[in-house]
Amino acid sequence: MSVRLAHGPGEAPRPMPVTAVVALGANLGRRAETLAAAVDELRRLTLTSDVRVSEPIETVAVTLDGEDEDAPRYLNAVALLSTRLAPAELLASLHRIEARHGRVRRERWGDRTLDLDLIAYGDDVIDGPDLVVPHPRAHEREFVLGPWVELDPDAEIPGRGRIADLLEGLRP
């Protein structure tokens, strides 16, 4: 099978791998098992290798109105992966993994069996109708920055700065 066919339709695969950052979260069902299965699927993505994953952390649910102590708690982690998949194809792959784990997109910021967010794609800045990278709220989320800094203490969010400094600014 050709690389082009393995990649899927749309933008061509990258000639050189890029490091992508994916945030994982689940607050319904068997959270730990779901995250572990999702990581296994990330490791099997075409044109993708070197998947590294942070230790999961438990966090309070965040909604449009702020933290919701009454909602089921989330288990969150961050994965770094080296991929040649184009950003849109990587996002589509993440959505397929979510769907296989029962994710239904009904309510924005609602409870979910699995949430996979594309946080960063190398140094790319993308502002499209279906994809915004870096993730527009990643710099405000301790549950993203904390696990990410564990994997890559020198990482930066394009246009925002070092994640270690961003994380320090969020902590009292």
Q: Which residues are catalytic?
A: 103, 112, 115, 117
Q: From the centroid of its chain, how far is CA 51?
A: 12
Helix, strand and coil in the chain, % to nearest 5: 30, 30, 40
Tell me whether the omega of the peptide bond preceding residue 17 falls within 30 degrees of 0, making it cis. no
- Dihedral of CA atoms 54, 57, 61, 64 in degrees, nearest 10, equals -40
Axis crossing angle, helix 87-100 with helix 31-43, rounded to the nearest 10: 140
Tell me whether the omega of the peptide bond preceding residue 134 falls within 30 degrees of 0, making it cis. yes
Query: In a 3-state reduction of DSSP, which class is residue 2?
Result: coil
